[in-house]
Amino acid sequence: MNEMREIVTVGQVNSLFLALIVIGPAAGALIGGAMGRRRGGLTRGALTGALIGLLLALLNLGLWRVYNAITDRLGLDSVRNLVVNLALFIALGAGAGLIAGYLSRRRAAAPEETPPDAG
């Protein structure tokens, strides 16, 4: 009988996440540019999209490395590993939700820009 092998290796996942650091900003620039074009700010939208794409790719790689460090330290199949990773990702998700809520409320409270009168 054959030995059990990993379907995907850690090295392959690392390579994928490093590729996302290149692909993420490019995809973000395209999407942000398309959205910015509809709103009249193509360059600003593309730059914002590229920045968001890079930030998300870097956060993804960072979380992957933190997950691996915790798993290497506590063991893959331990309950302690599961609880630590669960607590970490709940805290990060709650933090992201609080930040998104704050930014959403701030944007809603901002006065709307009115076009200057032509008169």
pLDDT for 35 equals: 92
* Domain layout of the chain by residue ranges: 8-74, 76-111
**Predicted local confidence at residue 1, as pLDDT:** 61
Query: Is the predicted pLDDT of residue 114 greater than 70, yes or no?
Result: no
Q: How confident is the model at residue 52 (pLDDT cuts 50, 70, 90)?
A: very high
Q: What pLDDT sits at residue 72?
A: 93
Residue 77 phi/psi, 5-degree rounding, is -100, 20
Q: What is the pLDDT of residue 119?
A: 46
The pTM (predicted TM-score) of the whole model is 0.73
Q: Tell me the average pLDDT across 35-57.
A: 91
Compute the distance between CA of residue 52 and CA of residue 29 in angstroms, rounded to an integer: 9
Cα→Cα distances 35→74, 87, 91, 103, 107, Å? 44, 35, 31, 19, 18
pLDDT at 4: 80
